[in-house]
Amino acid sequence: MKRINLKYLIISLIIILVLSLGSGCLLPSLPTAPPQSPTPTSTATPINPNWTPPTAESQASILPSIADVVALVKPSVVAINTEYVTYDIFNRPYEQQGAGSGWIIDEDGLIVTNNHVVEGAKSVTVTLADGRTFPAETIRTDRLSDLAIVKVSAKKLPAAKVGNSAMLRVGDWVVAIGNSLGQGISATKGIVSAKGISLSVSEGQTLYDLLQTDAAINPGNSGGPLVNMSGEVIGITSVKLAAVEVEGVGYAISSNTAKPIIQQLVQKGYVVRSWLGVVLYTVDQYVVLRYSLAVDKGALITEVAAPSPADEAGIKSGDVITSFDGKEITSADDLIQAIHSSEIGQRVEIIYWRGNSQTTTYAVLAESPPS
């Protein structure tokens, strides 16, 4: 028997293996899928085969020149500078200056401004647009509406025109003009953002029928005019809301609200309203605990004038009024508004708490005395 050469055997096996792999006999070929035909697109029903995009409208009317509005109104706007006596932490008096704005409503020296601009001032001076300065001759104020009249001895002043604030629409352009930052008369523009706003500015004082605007309002603007594009005063700048994340929110007293108050300040020297004769504080958790009140809402009486309708009705300091003429009272502002919406001489029902007892009384409202 012949001996098989191992070297030739190995070479032969390698050749056979290579030929087998090349022919694909060791791994069967996988079947391939036949090509797919494209899916036909579904048929859609047209919405309107004759529709075409709308054509562009004609260009909107051009905004009236703000420069023309400012040029018309600026001569009627004044800077108001004030001096106050205040006290340091050691109770030592020192003088402090303030700045505000105003506008001429009558050529004989009648100027409208805010009460908070002149309230408590030791001296008030008015600087006109032409640079002339006059001391205040007479000042008449109304704290509740934050309005004041300053009279100076000057004639033939350029009075501003007063417009109808009821005609304003949200989105109308307006211009605020005033003594911003005490640096002289300047102007800012914006729009009417909202109308008919009520805003509580201090305890017992809420301003009603305010115009909200995004026109920039800064310290010194108070008392200045907010005017429309016809150059008419439609508001008196009064309040800026300053808080974190609040921007572009300022308020002006509407001209229609201000006009009757201004008229009374000029004609009478004060504003005539219905009067109960009480000083109020809104009931909160502090006063509930401090005075052991039986109710957690209402108007707390802190003072009663004598004589007054409240005094005659038996109301005393420490009582809490919860109902006035059938209206629920939850705060001092509620009661103030209810009193002012009533008539002088009207007999009203008042429900109040004294200690743990509820009492009903009646009062005849009188005319408010001069401030």
Q: Is 293 helix (H, G, I), strand (E, B) or coil?
A: coil
CB 235 within 8 A of CB 211: yes
Q: Is 187 helix (H, G, I), strand (E, B) or coil?
A: strand
Which residues, in sequence order, are CB contacts of 229 under 8 Å at separation 6+? 63, 64, 69, 172, 173, 174, 175
Q: In the chain, count of helices (H) and strands (E)?
A: 7, 22
Q: Letter for the amino acid at 153?
A: S
Angstrom distances, CA of residue 160 to CA of 68, 105, 112, 195: 14, 6, 11, 22
Instruction: Locate 117 and state its tokens.
Output: 């601009």
CB atoms within 10 A of CB 12: 11
CB atoms within 10 A of CB 351: 18
CA distance 345 to 335: 17
Q: Which residues are catalytic?
A: 116, 146, 222
CB 218 within 8 A of CB 229: no
How buried is 125 (Cβ within 10 angstroms: 0-12 exposed, 13-18 middle, 19+ buried)? Answer: middle
- Helix (H) / strand (E) element for 12: namely helix 6-23
Residue in the structure block whose two tokens are 């009193």: 339
Q: Is 335 helix (H, G, I), strand (E, B) or coil?
A: helix
Answer whether the bond into residue 307 is a cis peptide, omega within 30°.
yes
